[in-house]
């Protein structure tokens, strides 16, 4: 068909983001999809008529795209519904077969340029049980847009069945929809939002992931889902009310606490999907508007969940005020000052599935199938607002996680959520991610393996070396830099022992360790204990005076810290008197033999400081035999 320049419309910023992402990865499936169970009979002819009428009203779905030297453009064209009708009546597995067919359809990409960019199917499971399956390319609509479309479809269908007038169109035209964004991007609101986000992102916050692997965003997902237990949901709602917040923000805070506990990260960005529908036209018209912006959470072991929830509430409110500033703009601004483009790895999406509508009087139940591509992990809470349950779904990038890993994180998070909401005033550092039976198993295993045949104690550093000799390539530590096997870990621990002995550290001395979680920290602990010395863990974020005071009180003989913390170390050692030798865990492996592991159960293992009755930190000296 001929394309008239007079009829062309620009793409919105959100559409352009999808367009270029699809062009970079043509095989990826950028789509949103759900299905509605209709609990009652359906007049199939009127249903198809209702689809035709609703599509005619939705210009944003009836578009074709063209790219030229001036950019990318969209044109509204005539389109017709091609409703696929699938009769599964008489099959015992009718519902399961419908789900299988829908899952198969999700693997099929749309033609981005020529469309159509939507697909509809109606499954008859029984005379009084139907499924309406709809999927759209993300370039024409988002999840909220799909719900707006469904409400109108239900109204038109119900009117047709009743022989009534379905009323005038309720959607704005494409030109009016685009004008909403054009007006915003030339307004003072946009300027203020840009200033807000540029100031906010000046503080570099690195994404936090639950895996060291890397991969591009994909629609291929590993999914694990279950209802949040009623008592846990009630605790979450209660704690959120106490913080003058909402339970979705409480969920964001809990995810931030979990990521910190699992990775050791002290600053955690959480992707926070927002509808961005702040005007009547945007609230009433299907289209792609949704935005994902980061909430930043500062977490320490001393932070309580109640405190973190208040922090998340304040940050979320600031983000919501500027929710129309696109994530693509934030990433572009970051690149301009030398930052990365990813704002967060894990996102939390609370989706209201309150379909308070019926199809000719018959109720529906909505089911989510896909929210589009996932960078890392997307955690979705499906709230039907019926007072019954909230479904919590973990969708993991299939190139980053296995089914078992996603299921494990999902299970552990639900357990962690129950614990922190039951005791919101307890410091987060006192919660762990293990199940009770896992804790007991570890304790039993530790007691069984740390004894020699004659009843003596086996040193942990020695046990690691034994394991390295028998299974050198087994994975010992996984952190954000990748996997470290036992051979490498034992060798790097030996290199630490070499450095300590060369610095004059002796058996029984104390070595300060700047506690940055990862393979280097584990190697530093093993290397210190391997020469019979004990370690003192220090918080990198603690005040310099406090760290220096603890080192002085323990008469520390050396300090081990990552090279990127050199400035912090310089201030600590200066405060402590300036004579304390320090080094980083050697990056390479030692050439010669490893130092002999020494020590017994009576040797010092580590020193920790707890709050004393006078307010001054009190030292506890722990041996390897404890």
User: Residue 388 — pLDDT band, cuts 50, 70, 90?
Assistant: low
Domain for residue 439, yes or no?
A: no
Residue 538 contacts residue 515 (beta carbons within 8 Å): yes
Helix and strand numbers, DSSP H then E, in the chain: 18, 23
pLDDT single digits (tens) 213-238: 888 888 889 999 999 999 999 999 99
Residue 295's closest CA among 239, 252, 331? Answer: 252
Dihedral over alpha carbons 139, 143, 145, 149 (to 10 degrees): 110
Q: Report the number of distinct structural domains present in the chain.
A: 3
Which stretch of 121-125, 130-134, 586-590 has the lowest confidence by average pLDDT?
Answer: 586-590
Provide the 3-class DSSP secondary structure of residue 1: coil
Domain containing residue 410: CATH number: 3.30.559.30
Q: What is residue 348's DSSP assignment?
A: E
Domain for residue 352, yes or no?
A: yes
Question: For residue 590, what pLDDT is reported?
Answer: 72
Domain for residue 39, yes or no?
A: yes
Domain for residue 384, yes or no?
A: yes
Q: Are residues 160 and 109 in the same domain?
A: yes
Domain for residue 256, yes or no?
A: yes
Q: Are residues 482 and 581 in the same domain?
A: yes
- What are the CA-CA distances from residue 300 to residues 268, 307, 541 (Å)? 11, 11, 9
Question: What is the rounded average pLDDT for all residues in the chain?
Answer: 88
Range of the domain at 118: 5-175
Which residue(s) pair with 359 in the sheet? Answer: 362
User: Residue 189 — pLDDT band, cuts 50, 70, 90?
Assistant: very high
Q: Are residues 234 and 118 in the same domain?
A: no
Domain for residue 435, yes or no?
A: no
In sequence order, which residues have a C-beta less than 8 Å from that of residue 166 and are 6 or more positions away?
A: 50, 53, 155, 156, 159, 160
Which stretch of 314-318, 330-334, 418-422 has the lowest confidence by average pLDDT?
Answer: 330-334
Q: Are residues 497 and 610 in the same domain?
A: yes
Q: Are residues 491 and 527 in the same domain?
A: yes
Q: Are residues 520 and 589 in the same domain?
A: yes
Question: For residue 542, what pLDDT is reported?
Answer: 85
pLDDT single digits (tens) 424-460: 999 998 888 877 766 665 455 445 445 554 444 456 8
Q: Are residues 204 and 109 in the same domain?
A: no
Domain containing residue 464: CATH number: 3.40.50.980
pLDDT single digits (tens) 257-287: 999 988 888 899 999 999 999 999 999 999 9
Residue 156's closest CA among 81, 237, 206? Answer: 81
Domain containing residue 147: CATH number: 3.30.559.10
Provide the phi-psi class of 529: left if phi over 0, else alpha when psi is between -120 and 50, else beta: alpha
Q: Are residues 246 and 312 in the same domain?
A: yes
Q: What is residue 131's DSSP assignment?
A: E
Domain for residue 31, yes or no?
A: yes
Provide the phi-psi class of 344: left if phi over 0, else alpha when psi is between -120 and 50, else beta: beta
Domain for residue 285, yes or no?
A: yes
Q: Are residues 313 and 221 in the same domain?
A: yes
What is the rounded CA–CA span in Å between residue 483 and residue 255?
24
Residue 512's closest CA among 562, 462, 458, 449? Answer: 562
Q: Are residues 218 and 287 in the same domain?
A: yes
Question: For residue 441, what pLDDT is reported?
Answer: 53
Q: What are φ and ψ of residue 617, in 5° steps?
A: -60, 140
Residue 478 contacts residue 210 (beta carbons within 8 Å): no
Count the alpha carbons within 13 Å of 232 in the hemisphere toward its beta carbon.
18
Which stretch of 161-170, 429-438, 537-546 has the lowest confidence by average pLDDT?
Answer: 429-438
pTM: 0.73
What is the rounded CA–CA span in Å between residue 516 and residue 265?
9
Q: Are residues 543 and 606 in the same domain?
A: yes
Q: Are residues 387 and 462 in the same domain?
A: no
Residue 353 above 80 pLDDT?
Answer: no
Question: For residue 616, what pLDDT is reported?
Answer: 62
Q: What are φ and ψ of residue 561, in 5° steps?
A: -155, 150
């Amino acid at each position: 068909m001929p394309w008239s320049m007079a009829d062309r419309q620009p793409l919105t910023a959100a559409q352009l983001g999808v367009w270029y992402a699809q062009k970079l990865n043509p095989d990826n499936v950028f789509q949103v999809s759900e299905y509605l169970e209709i609990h009652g009979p359906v007049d199939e002819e009127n249903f198809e008529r209702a689809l035709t009428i609703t599509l005619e009203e939705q210009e944003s779905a009836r578009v074709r795209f063209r790219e030229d030297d001036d950019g990318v453009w969209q044109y509204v064209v005539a389109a017709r519904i091609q409703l696929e009708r699938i009769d599964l009546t008489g099959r015992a597995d009718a519902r399961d077969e419908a789900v299988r067919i829908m899952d198969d359809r999700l693997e099929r990409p749309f033609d981005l340029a020529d469309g159509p960019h939507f697909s509809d199917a109606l499954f008859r499971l029984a005379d009084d049980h139907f499924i309406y399956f709809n999927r759209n390319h993300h370039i024409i609509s988002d999840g909220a847009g799909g719900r707006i479309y469904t409400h109108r479809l239900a109204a038109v269908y119900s009117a047709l069945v009743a022989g009534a007038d379905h009323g005038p169109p309720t959607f704005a035209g494409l030109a009016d929809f685009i004008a909403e964004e054009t007006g915003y991007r030339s307004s003072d609101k946009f300027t203020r939002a840009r200033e807000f986000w540029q100031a906010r992102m000046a503080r570099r916050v690195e994404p936090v992931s639950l895996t060291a692997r890397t991969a591009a965003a994909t629609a291929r997902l590993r999914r694990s889902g279950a209802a949040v237990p009623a008592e846990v949901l009630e605790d979450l709602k209660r704690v959120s009310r106490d913080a003058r917040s909402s339970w979705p923000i409480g969920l964001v805070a809990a995810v931030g606490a979990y990521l910190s506990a699992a990775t050791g990260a002290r600053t955690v960005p959480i992707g926070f999907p927002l509808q961005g529908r702040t005007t009547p036209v945007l609230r009433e018209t299907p289209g792609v508007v949704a935005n994902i912006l980061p909430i930043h959470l500062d977490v320490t072991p001393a932070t309580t969940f109640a405190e973190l929830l208040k922090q998340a509430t304040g940050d979320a409110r600031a983000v919501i005020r500027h929710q129309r500033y696109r994530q693509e703009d934030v990433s572009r601004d970051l690149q301009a000052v030398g930052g990365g483009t990813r704002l967060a790895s894990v996102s939390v999406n609370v989706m209201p599935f309150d379909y308070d509508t019926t199809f000719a009087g018959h109720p529906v139940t909505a089911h989510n199938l896909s929210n589009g591509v996932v960078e890392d992990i997307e955690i979705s809470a499906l709230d039907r607002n019926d007072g019954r349950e909230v479904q919590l779904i973990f969708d993991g990038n299939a190139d980053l996680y296995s089914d078992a890993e996603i299921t494990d994180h999902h299970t552990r998070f639900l357990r962690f959520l129950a614990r922190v909401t039951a005791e919101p005033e307890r410091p987060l550092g006192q919660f762990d991610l293990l199940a009770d039976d896992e804790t007991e198993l570890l304790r039993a295993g530790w007691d069984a393996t740390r004894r020699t045949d004659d009843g003596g104690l086996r040193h942990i550093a020695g046990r690691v070396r034994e394991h390295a000799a028998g299974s050198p390539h087994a994975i010992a530590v996984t952190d954000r830099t990748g996997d470290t096997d036992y051979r490498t870990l034992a060798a790097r621990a030996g290199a630490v022992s070499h450095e300590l002995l060369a610095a004059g550290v002796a058996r029984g001395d104390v070595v300060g360790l700047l506690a940055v979680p990862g393979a280097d920290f584990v190697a530093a602990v093993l290397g210190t204990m391997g020469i019979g010395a004990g370690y003192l863990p220090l918080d990198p974020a603690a005040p310099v005076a406090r760290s220096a005071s603890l080192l002085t009180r323990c008469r520390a003989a050396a300090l081990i810290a990552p090279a990127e913390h050199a400035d912090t170390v310089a201030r600590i050692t200066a405060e402590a008197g300036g004579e304390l030798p320090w080094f980083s865990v050697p990056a390479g492996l030692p050439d010669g033999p490893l130092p002999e592991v020494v020590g017994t159960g009576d040797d010092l293992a580590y020193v920790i400081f707890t709050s004393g009755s006078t307010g001054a930190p009190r030292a506890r000296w722990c041996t390897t035999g404890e």
